[in-house]
Amino acid sequence: MNRSFISVVITNQPLAVSGYFTLTVSVDSNMPIPMPGQFCMIKIPYSLDPILGRPLCVFDFEQGLMTFLVRIMGRGTALLSKLTAGDKVSILGPLGNGFPIVKNSQLPIIVVGGMGIASLYMFIKKYGASALFYGAKTASELIFLDDIKKNCDNLFISTDDGSAGVKGGILDSLERYIAAINSNRLIYCCGPHGMYKAMAERFDRTGLDITVSLEERMACGIGGCLGCVTKTNSNTYSRVCKEGPVFKLNSISFG
Amino acid sequence: MNLKIKIKNLTLKNPVMTASGTFGYGEENAEFFDLSLLGAVVVKGLSIKPSMGNPPPRIWETPCGMLNSIGLQNIGIEAFNRDKLPWLRQFDTRIIANFYGNEISEFVEAARALEGVDALEMNVSCPNKQAGWIAFGTDPLMLSKVVGAVRKVTELPLIVKLSPNVTDITVLAKSAVDAGADALSLINTLTAMAIDIETRRPRLSNIIGGLSGPAIKPIAIRMVYQVHKAVNVPLIGMGGIMNGNDAVEFLLAGAGGVAVGTANFIDPVASVKVLDGIIDYMRRKNISDINDIIGGVMV
Ligand SMILES: Cc1cc2nc3c(=O)[nH]c(=O)nc-3n(C[C@H](O)[C@H](O)[C@H](O)COP(=O)(O)OP(=O)(O)OC[C@H]3O[C@@H](n4cnc5c(N)ncnc54)[C@H](O)[C@@H]3O)c2cc1C
Ligand SMILES: Cc1cc2nc3c(=O)[nH]c(=O)nc-3n(C[C@H](O)[C@H](O)[C@H](O)COP(=O)(O)O)c2cc1C
Ligand code: FES
């Protein structure tokens, strides 16, 4: 099954909050349909510097178009931000394992920290969530909040500076919510690594079924280089690109 | 058009191989193309016991290249023979096992355990492990001892993969050939380092890693050229091959075969495109036998 394509940039849209943009590209008809949480390796074709593709989650996939939500981190993402309509990009994907699809009656609680929305937006849009916890540093970084509101009415917002929702971290609200309900045990989460560590500590013995999406530096994205590993609880290394990027929280070692 | 090359008594249908450690055990790339198209698949470096490798971060990109410190993570020879080799055998290509050890006895044991493959490639050069075995590839006497010991226990074509982290690679090349190497692979990665100036921390958890990719190609070409003049065995050239033209450059410098490494990370089908590029070049130049261009640089 081929997953290596050349796509054409359709739009490249800076967001209101600086340093973020959405990149929408054409999709080859042979490309398998990406599952929520899967990613692609994106690269400017033939360039030797930067030489490696950049892993980006499939943010949205609709009507022959695929969109990535990108935050400018360094040279690779800065170059992608300068692409204009008609430019070519090479796309390798969809790659990795996404978030498991569940029955409507068992929708997960979704927890998103900042850029984590890139990984879970498609899931929320397609399936919704039994409750959605969305946290960011400040109100302007609650990206696509209006769209998300349309897909989930049980929404809990928090910001570090209190500019929107509850002031403070998202996990406090989550903990209160979980204490109040005892039916739903399924949580899907994407956020910074520190948030996972805090979750692992807080919810260690709660019996929650927590699934998270990890990030590691990647070279190949397909499992061939062993560059992207994360330590597991059985003291082995798993490839984030191949066994992940979605893992059970309790299978990851934070030691 | 003849693309066949020979390593001792082993014929490869074409000169293009995969560089060890950039192609796993073949499974991932087989989702993208038929491995039977390749001259040989060289698998990730194997050891007697499984090895966990280094903690992440293991990779860092540099201009036209990358650093890695995978630390030779592998499943061990027993699991390779049981789980990977039978699967690889469905393809009409040669299977070359790259292997290493931390002592001479481990090299010997590994070579013995790998008798089911078509050829052996000894990694005496990988700069990733901090332990003493780095000396195998950088000291002519040590190299001669370990190659000699492995030579005694195997009839398979024995390829020694040289380290570029030496002052004069021809000295090591001669030492390996005198000790019984049937062919030489060059080059492995160059030891290298990068620092995050914001945090003052090394980019790799292992601090030092190996540099690969187009950034090292001119060094590799120079070394192939020098070694080709110094010894009389086939050379497998590698280091930054991205396309057919790069591969032809290696052939002209004296390589009898080529291996594609880092390029596999950018495009899983890169090795096949390299082969196509070589064929295009031969057509364009009216060359009917690949062996006619090996070492053909005009100086
Ligand atoms: C599976 C996966 C999915 C991802 N999805 C998205 C996404 O949808 N949108 C998005 O904006 N980003 C995403 N990322 C992160 C993105 O790949 C990196 O930000 C990007 O590769 C950085 O490239 P650069 O050249 O701009 O920065 P570089 O110059 O390579 O690095 C700049 C800084 O960012 C750090 N960095 C680089 N790569 C990563 C990484 N993978 N994780 C954390 N820090 C890193 C570096 O250490 C460095 O300090 C994803 C990463 C993974 C592994
Ligand atoms: C991620 C990675 C892993 C590697 N692992 C091995 C290995 O296990 N054994 C080995 O002999 N060489 C290993 N190498 C070296 C390559 O086989 C090759 O010699 C080197 O990368 C130069 O070729 P390139 O520039 O085309 O990548 C590795 C290289 C990379 C980039
Ligand atoms: S990025 Fe190469 S194995 Fe995951």
Q: Same structural domain for residues A223 and A162?
A: yes
Cβ distance B76 to B49 under 8 Å? yes
- The CA angle A55-B55-B31, to the nearest 5 degrees, is 45
In a domain, A99, yes or no: no
Residues in chain B: 299
Could you tell me the distance, in angstroms and rounded to a whole number, from the CA of residue A209 to the centre of ligand 2?
Answer: 39
Q: Same structural domain for residues A133 and A19?
A: no
Whether residue A223 and residue B58 make contact (CB cut-off 8 A), yes or no, is no
Q: Same structural domain for residues A86 and A170?
A: no
Q: Same structural domain for residues A152 and A243?
A: yes
Q: Which of A40, A71, A94 is a domain's end point?
A: A94
In a domain, A179, yes or no: yes
Chain A residues lying within 8 Å of B264, measured CB to CB: 220, 224
Strand partners, A167: A159
The pTM of this model reads: 0.95
The domain containing residue A43 runs over which residues?
A: 4-94
Could you tell me the distance, in angstroms and rounded to a whole number, from the CA of residue A54 to the centre of ligand 1?
Answer: 7
List, in order, residues 6 or more apart from B176 with CB less than 8 Å away: B124, B143, B144, B147, B160, B162, B184
Give strand ranges (E) for B45-178.
59-62, 65-68, 94-99, 119-123, 158-161
Number of domains in chain A: 2
Q: Which of A43, A75, A94 is a domain's end point?
A: A94
Whether residue B28 and residue A227 make contact (CB cut-off 8 A), yes or no, is no
Q: Same structural domain for residues A62 and A170?
A: no
Give tens-digit pLDDT for B32-73.
999 999 999 999 999 999 999 999 999 999 999 999 999 989
Chain B residues lying within 8 Å of A215, measured CB to CB: none
Flag whether the ipTM exceeds 0.85: yes
pLDDT per residue as tens, chain A (255 positions): 678 899 999 999 999 999 999 999 999 999 999 999 999 999 999 899 999 999 999 999 998 899 999 999 999 999 999 999 999 999 999 999 999 998 777 899 999 999 999 999 999 999 999 999 999 999 999 999 988 888 888 999 999 999 988 998 899 999 888 888 877 689 999 999 999 999 999 887 778 899 999 999 999 999 999 999 999 999 999 999 999 999 999 999 987
Q: Same structural domain for residues A240 and A115?
A: yes
Query: Minimal CA–CA distance to B185: which of B97, B111, B109?
Result: B97
Q: Same structural domain for residues A196 and A88?
A: no
- Which residue has the least CA distance to atom 4 on ligand 2? B21
Average pLDDT over residues B292-298: 96
Q: Same structural domain for residues A66 and A110?
A: no
pLDDT > 60? residue B131: no
Query: Minimal CA–CA distance to A145: which of A127, A164, A160?
Result: A164
List the catalytic residue out of B17, B42, B126, B181. Answer: B126
DSSP A36-63: TT-EEEEE-TT--SS-S-EEEE--EEET
Q: Which of A94, A123, A139 is a domain's end point?
A: A94
DSSP A124-169: HHHH--SEEEEEESSGGGSTTHHHHHHH-SSEEEEETTSSSSEES-
Find the closest chain B residue to A225 by CA distance: B22
Q: For strands B209-212 and B235-237, give the pairing.
A: unpaired
Which one of B24, B56, B65 has the shortest CB-CB distance to A223?
B24
Q: Same structural domain for residues A146 and A32?
A: no
CA distance A166 to A253: 30
State the CATH number of the domain containing residue A28.
Answer: 2.40.30.10
At residue B21, the pLDDT reads 96
Structural domains in chain B? 5-292 (3.20.20.70)
State the CATH number of the domain containing residue A108.
Answer: 3.40.50.80
